[in-house]
Amino acid sequence: MDAETAASFRDSAARALSDPQLRANFQRAMDGLMTKRLAQFPDPGDLRDLRHLSTTIRSRSLLRLPELLEQLEVNCTKNGIQVHWAESCEQANELILGILQSKGAKTLVKGKSMVSEEMHLNAFLEGHGIEALESDLGEYIIQLDGETPSHIIMPALHKNKEQIARQFSQKIKDAKYTEDVDELTALARKVLRQKFLEADAGLSGVNFAVAETGTLCLVENEGNGRMSTHVPPLHIAVMGLEKVVPRLEDVAPLYAILTRSATGQAVSTYLNLISGPRGEGEMDGPQEVHLVILDNGRSRIHADPQLRATLRCIRCGACMNHCPVYTRVGGHAYEAVYPGPIGQILTPQMEGVGARHDLIHASSLCGACAEVCPVEIPIPAILIRLRREATHEDVASKVTGKGTGRTVSEDWAWRLWAAVLKRPAVYRLATWFATRFGKALPASAPLIRNWTQSRTKPVPARRSLSERMRAEGDTHV
Amino acid sequence: MSDARAAILGRLRASGEPGPLPSPLPALDTAVLERCQWPPAERVARLRKGMEAVHTEFLDATPDTWPNLVRAFCDREELKNLLYGPTSEDGAVLTATWLPDGTQLMPYDRPVEAFKRELFTGVDAGFTGTVGGVAETGGLLLTPGPAEPRLLSLVPPIHIALLRTSTIQDSFWSAVQTLGWGRSLPPNALLISGPSKTADIEQTLAYGVHGPRRLIVVLVDDLA
- Domain of B48: which CATH number? 3.40.50.10420
Nearest chain B residue to A149 by CA distance is B200
State which residues form the domain around A396. Answer: 1-40+300-406
Peptide bond into B24 cis (omega under 30): yes
Same domain, A127 and A201: yes
Contacts of B150 in chain A (CB under 8 A): 226, 230, 282, 284-285
Nearest CA in chain B to A33: B203
Distance from CA of B75 to the nearest CA of A (A): 25
More confident residue, A231 or A410: A231
Average pLDDT estimate for B182-186: 92
Q: B114: nearest CA in chain A?
A: A283
Contacts of A204 (CB under 8 A, 6+ apart): A110, A111, A112, A113, A216, A218, A225, A228, A229, A235, A236, A237, A238
pLDDT confidence tier of residue B76, bands split at 50, 70 and 90: very high
| Residues B78-91: b if buried by 16+ CB within 10 A, e if exposed | ebebbbbbeebebb
Q: Are A238 and A154 within one domain?
A: yes
Angle at A239 between CA B14 and CA B184, to 5 degrees: 95
Domain around B95: 35-220
A29 touches chain B (CB under 8 A): yes
Domain count, chain B: 1
Between positions 125 and 144 of A, the ones with CB within 8 A of B are: 135-138, 141
- Whether residue A60 and residue B181 make contact (CB cut-off 8 A), yes or no, is no
- Flag whether pLDDT at A476 surpasses 70: yes
Predicted pLDDT at A10: 86
Query: pLDDT tier at A50 (50, 70, 90 boundaries)?
Result: very high
Report, as an integer, the average pLDDT of B113-142.
98
Domain-ending residue, one of A251, A279, A296:
A296
Whether B164 has a pLDDT exceeding 90, the answer reads: yes
Contact predicate B168/B219, CB 8 Å: no
Q: How far apart are CA B24 and CA A48, in angstroms?
A: 25
B96, B54, B136, B99: which is closest to A255 by C-alpha? B136
User: Which of B28, B35, B206 lies closest to A181 in CB terms?
Assistant: B206
Tell me whether residues A85 and B8 touch, CB distance under 8 A.
yes
For residue A132, report the phi and psi dihedrals to the nearest 5 degrees: -115, 110
pLDDT confidence bin for A450, thresholds 50/70/90 = confident
The two beta strands, B214-220 and A201-204, are unpaired
Torsion of CA B133, A374, B13, A293, to 10 degrees: 60
**A452 confidence band (pLDDT: 50, 70, 90):** confident
For chain B, percent of residues with pLDDT exceeding 90: 89
Q: Determine the residue type at B127.
A: F
Q: Which residues of B touch A211 (CB under 8 A)?
A: none
- Radius of gyration over every alpha carbon of chain B, rounded to an integer in angstroms: 21
Pairwise CA distance, residues A131 & A107, whole Å: 5
Min Cα distance B175 → chain A (Å) is: 9
Q: What is the pLDDT of residue B16?
A: 64
Contacts of A77 in chain B (CB under 8 A): none
- Of A406, A428, A454, at which residue does a domain stop? A406
* Nearest neighbour of B8 by CB, restricted to A241, A248, A282: A241
Looking at A383, A406, A429, the residue that finishes a domain is: A406
The distance of B73 to chain A (nearest Cα, Å) reads 23
Specify which residues A286 forms β-bridges with.
none
pLDDT of residue A114: 96
CB A93, CB A119: distance < 8 Å: yes
Q: Give A162 to chain B, closest Cα distance, Å.
A: 10
Number of C-alpha atoms within 13 angstroms, CB side, residue A341? 34
Is a pLDDT exceeding 50 seen at residue A31?
A: yes
Q: What is the mean pLDDT of residues A57-71?
A: 96
Residues 286-345 of A with CB under 8 A from B: 293, 295, 299-300, 302-305, 308
Mean of pLDDT values over B121-125: 97
pLDDT value for A438: 85
The mean per-residue pLDDT over the stretch B110-134 comes to 97
Torsion over CA: A123, A275, B188, A59 (sign): negative
The amino acid at residue A170 is: Q
pLDDT at A395: 77
Can you tell me whether residue A56 is helix, strand or coil? helix
Whether residue A251 is found in the same domain as residue A353:
no
Q: How far apart are CA A99 and CA A93, in angstroms?
A: 10
Beta bridge partners of B106: B83
Instruction: Give the C-alpha separation, B224 to A286, whole Å.
Output: 41
Judging contacts by C-beta atoms under 8 Å, the chain B residues touching residue A263 are 199
The domain tally of chain A equals 3
Is residue A109 domain-resident? yes
Q: For residue A396, what pLDDT is reported?
A: 82
Q: Within this chain, do residues A107 and A225 fall inside the same structural domain, yes or no?
A: yes
Average pLDDT, chain A: 94
A127, A220: one domain: yes
* CA separation for the pair B96, A249 (Å, rounded): 39
The candidate with the shortest Cα–Cα distance to A229, out of A307, A284, A162, is A284
What was the pLDDT predicted at A393? 85
Residues A257 and A365 in one domain: no
Closest partner CB to B1 (pick from A84, A226, A300):
A84
Interface test with A, best of B110, B123, B143, B150 (most A CBs within 10 A): B150
Higher pLDDT, A460 or A295: A295
Residue of chain A nearest B2, judged by CA positions: A85
Residue-level pLDDT at B26: 83
Any idea what DSSP says for residue B158?
A: E
B55 → chain A, closest CA residue: A269
Confidence of residue A5 (pLDDT cuts 50, 70, 90): very low
Residues A16 and A74 occupy one common structural domain: no
DSSP H/E element including A292: strand A288-294
Mean pLDDT, residues A357-381 taken together: 96
User: What's the pLDDT at A1?
Assistant: 38
Question: Which residue type occupies B31?
Answer: A
Instruction: Give the mean pLDDT of chain B.
Output: 95
- The answer to the question of residue A52 being in a domain is no
Question: In which element (H, E) is residue B41 found?
Answer: helix B40-52
When scoring A185, A234, A290, A311 by the number of chain B Cβ atoms within 10 A, the one with the most, hence best to mutate, is A185
What is the per-residue pLDDT across A206-228, written as a single tens digit (0 to 9) for each? 999 999 999 999 999 999 999 99
Q: Output the pLDDT for position A405.
A: 83
A84 touches chain B (CB under 8 A): yes
- Chain B residues within an 8 Å CB radius of A161: 201-202, 204
**What pLDDT does residue A460 have?**
87
**DSSP letters of A69-130?**
HHHHHHHHHHHTEEEEEESSHHHHHHHHHHHHHHTT--EEEE---HHHHHHTHHHHHHHTT-
Q: State phi, psi for B160 to the nearest 5 degrees.
A: -105, 120
% residues pLDDT > 90 (chain A): 82
Of A85, A196, A249, the CB nearest to B176: A249
Task: Find the mean pLDDT for residues A410-435.
Answer: 92
Structural contact between residues A9 and A358, judged by C-beta atoms closer than 8 angstroms: yes
Q: How confident is the model at residue B19 (pLDDT cuts 50, 70, 90)?
A: low
Q: Is residue A477 part of a domain?
A: no
Instruction: Specify the amino acid at residue B61.
Output: A
Residues A243, A258 within the same domain:
yes
Residue A49 inside a domain? The answer is no
Residue A444: pLDDT over 90: no
- Asked if A86 has any chain B CB less than 8 Å from its own CB, the reply is yes
**Predicted pLDDT of residue A2:** 39
Domain match, A98 and A234 both: yes
**Contact criterion met (CB < 8 Å) for A302 and B196:** no
Residues A325 and A378 in one domain: yes
- Are B32 and A155 within 8 A, CB to CB? no
Q: What is the pLDDT of residue A400?
A: 87
Whether residue B187 lies inside any domain: the answer is yes
Angle at B193 (CA atoms; ends B189, B198), nearest 5 degrees: 110
When mean pLDDT is compared across A93-107, A313-327, B7-21, B193-207, the lowest value belongs to B7-21
The count of CB pairs under 8 A between chains A and B is: 265
Whether A107 and A249 map to the same domain: the answer is yes
Decide if A48 is inside a domain. no
A67 shares its domain with A80: yes
Out of B137, B187, B203, the one facing A32 most closely (by C-beta) is B203
Tell me whether residue B23 is in a domain.
no
Contact list in B for residue A137 (CB cut-off 8 A) is 198, 200-201, 209
